[in-house]
Amino acid sequence: MSKFYGVAHGFQRGVFTEWSEAKKQIDKFPQPVYKKFSTEEEAQKYVDERKPKKVELAYPEPTHDTYYAVARGHTVGVFTDYNNVKEYIKNYPQPLHKKWSTLDEAVAYFKKFYQGNEEEGKDTKTEKEAKAGKPEKRDAKRKADKEETVEKKKKK
């Protein structure tokens, strides 16, 4: 039985017949959207339903107090009018948008969650990778505390 992998949001969108190829598109992509299907038609429909109808890459002037970055919606880009944003994300499966106080933050968010990259000079670790390092530190501290407790018991 054939398997098809629909990648709706990843480094490259599309339908893949090999998991290894689909995995390359979603690994280290922030909040990827993908699913396995038994037919190519179902996978293609899944991808097509999540494709924006319009991409607005012309960013507004940095003279506003509020910016809205829409990374997943019927229309994606950076906008200043929330009423428009509501229309762009209405009935869109798994929309992704956020309000920002500066244009630079909104553009960085859009690039990260729509294109899968961040502006140069910024930390490229994903949230998942950043959290992954924390348990190691906790585990090392627990191990050190446990060893210290064992040493104290031996001295008694």
- What does pTM read for this prediction? 0.59
DSSP3 helix / strand / coil % (the chain, rounded to 5): 45, 20, 35
135/147 same-domain check: yes
Confidence at residue 138, expressed as pLDDT on a 0 to 100 scale: 45
From the number of C-beta atoms within 10 Å of its C-beta (0-12, 13-18, 19+), residue 106 rates as buried
Number of domains in the chain: 3
| Residue 123 pLDDT | 37
Whole-number pLDDT of residue 114:
81
The whole-number pLDDT of residue 94 equals: 85
Same-domain check for residues 107 and 141: no
| Residue 25's CATH number | 3.40.970.10
Do 12 and 69 fall into the same domain? no
Contacts of 55 (CB under 8 A, 6+ apart): 75, 76, 77
Asked if 11 and 33 sit in the same domain, the reply is yes
pLDDT given for residue 156 in this prediction: 54
The series of mean pLDDT values per 10 residues for the chain, 156 residues long, is 91 94 92 94 94 72 90 91 94 91 92 66 36 45 55 55
